[in-house]
Amino acid sequence: MTVRWKFEDPVTAEVYIFPHNPQAMTSSRVRRAFSTGRGTYTATRGISQRQPSDWEFSGKLRTQAQYDAFVNWSQRQYPFRVVDHFGEVRIVIAVKFEPQDKRDFRNPWLHTYTFKCRIVPTDSIGSPDQGWL
């Protein structure tokens, strides 16, 4: 059985399960910036601060319902969860949805897409396990 990707909305409790998993994605590792503090902090004991990072995934949309769902999710102005086929959770804010029309006479809604987003460090909004979702 194939495990599908999904979007989860913490505000509306809406869940969208992808009918087809994306075909490609960029690395989603969150960057860390280190800085030294004054007083009790030294160059060897810095404060770690996670930084937001850009992330994107791409694939195909085959129906109007799939297309409309991606438009809907790309217009959300607050963080939501993306859960991949490994069960890895990313908290993201949508940046841009880029569909490209690939329709033909057999499939009038066929599109390839790129969904660009920014991964939000969980340090800045709390962990999903702490009840934000």
Where do the structural domains in the chain lie, given as residue ranges?
6-25+53-130
Residue 1 pLDDT grade (very low, low, confident, very high; cuts 50, 70, 90): confident
Q: Out of 67-71, 88-92, 102-106, 125-129, which region has the weakest mean confidence (pLDDT)? A: 125-129
Those residues whose C-beta lies under 8 Å from the C-beta of residue 45, and which sit 6 or more positions away, are 36, 37
The pLDDT tens digits for 107-123 are 999 999 999 999 998 76
3-state secondary structure 44-94: CECEEEEECEEEEEEEEECCHHHHHHHHHHHCCCCCEEEECCCCCEEEEEE
